[in-house]
Structures are given as structure tokens and as C-alpha cells.
Amino acid sequence: MRAMILAAGRGDRLRPLTDTVPKPLVEVGGKTLIEHHLDTLAAAGFREVVINQGHLGDLLPEKLGDGSHWGITIHWSDEQPEALETGGGIFKALPLLGSAPFLVVNGDVWTDYPFGRLRAVKCDWAHLVMVPNPPHNAGGDFALHGAVLKEEGPSNCTFSGIGVYHPRLFTGCQPGKFSVVPLLRSAMRDHLVTGELFRGGWSDVGTAERLETLREHLACV
């Protein structure tokens, strides 16, 4: 299984920090967010990782190189000068991801989720890792009914930004800028998306306040 880290976003809510550094290169716990992901992916046995580049994207290969530090190969998917959002970015990178299901993780989250667990997931369309709703997303994103995800319901929880996608999810898509969410919602209406609830460590580093909270937490562990 190959993996992709979504790293092309602008990170407007973290300005002025992200005026000079892409959000995945923000440091927490002594290393950058994206290095945390690469550590975990390599330890889980992933050997090929695709990373997309957008805002200040040239700084990513300068920092990470070819992946040999982790014993992996990094494939770069350049979206400069304008990022293509989640769906467009994944669609552009499909030739690098192969014909089998692949893991995708947002580059602006921190987590201790064991990525190796997803290597055994049977994924015909999509499988999403959900987390309990944080204060900034109290209403949740999707509803988990057993192992099946629906658009809404009494058991709403928050999408972690971690998932496994089959390339067929993107059938019929065209190159350009678009979100993956409408594709997921369409598949949910046909009961094609599975999910799981993860109660471990996870943080969406979307604002300066959440970044500082995460740094304080990691300083204490």
C-alpha cells in the first residue's frame, strides 16, 4: 500500500507563521508535523509516499529530501502555483499512487494513530478514520453506524483527515480544483464508505491557539 500526505494548503488561519513556512513544516514536539507522519508511516512498513506541494512547496523537498532518511521513497506531486484542494490534489497524484487502495493523511494534523492498521482494511471505495468531536467541530461531519458511514445521524463524529481510498472513487473526475467531500457523500448515499472511531491522540492544527495547545500537551508527555 502506498500513502499520500496532503501538504499543499495555504494555512491562512495560521498566518503570519505560514507566510514563511508551509503548514506541514510547523514544528510540534521537536519535529515538524510532516516528519511525525513520515516517522509513523515508515515504522508501519510504508515504503512509497506521495506528497503534494502548493504554498511554499519548494521548502518541502529541501527539508525532507528523497525520503532516504526514513528508508522510504518520496514522490512529489507539484501543484504550484495554486493548490488543487483535497480531491483535485489526490486526482492529480493518482498516477503515482497505483491501482490499489492507498492511504491519505492531511499534513496539518498530528496523531498517534497506528497507520499500519489500515494496511489490512478492505476498501472497495473509501474507509475513513473518525474521531470524537472536538470543541471546534461540535456538530461532527458524518455519522458512524457500525462500520458504515452515513452523511448524518445521531452518532455524528469528526473526520480525522486519515482515510483509505480506492482509485475508483475518482472515476469520472476531471483535472482541476475540487474537494474530496462531495465524492465521499455520494458514495455514502450508496452505503459504500466504511469507517472506524479512533479515541487516541489527534489534533487538527488549524489555528494558532490549537497549535499552542498541542505544543503544551506534547511537552508534558
Mean pLDDT, the chain, rounded, equals: 92
Q: How far apart are CA 211 and CA 36, in angstroms?
A: 15
Helix, strand, or coil (residue 215) = helix
Q: What confidence score (pLDDT) does residue 28 get?
A: 87
Q: How far apart are CA 57 and CA 61, in angstroms?
A: 8
Tens digit of pLDDT for each residue in 93-115? 999 999 999 999 999 999 999 99
Per-residue pLDDT of the chain (221 residues; tens, 9 = 90+): 999 999 997 656 666 666 677 889 988 888 999 999 999 999 999 999 999 998 787 899 999 999 999 999 999 999 988 889 999 999 999 999 999 999 999 999 999 999 999 999 999 999 999 999 999 899 999 999 999 999 988 779 999 999 999 999 999 999 999 999 999 999 999 999 999 999 999 999 878 888 888 888 888 76
34: containing domain: 3-219
Neighbours of 221 (CB within 10 A): 7
Predicted structure pTM score: 0.94
Helix, strand, or coil (residue 156) = strand
Helix, strand, or coil (residue 157) = strand
Q: How far apart are CA 155 and CA 107, in angstroms?
A: 26
CATH number of the domain that residue 132 is part of: 3.90.550.10
Q: What confidence score (pLDDT) does residue 11 get?
A: 58
Tens digit of pLDDT for each residue in 42-65? 999 999 999 999 878 789 999 999
| 37 beta partners | none
Count how many domains the chain has.
1
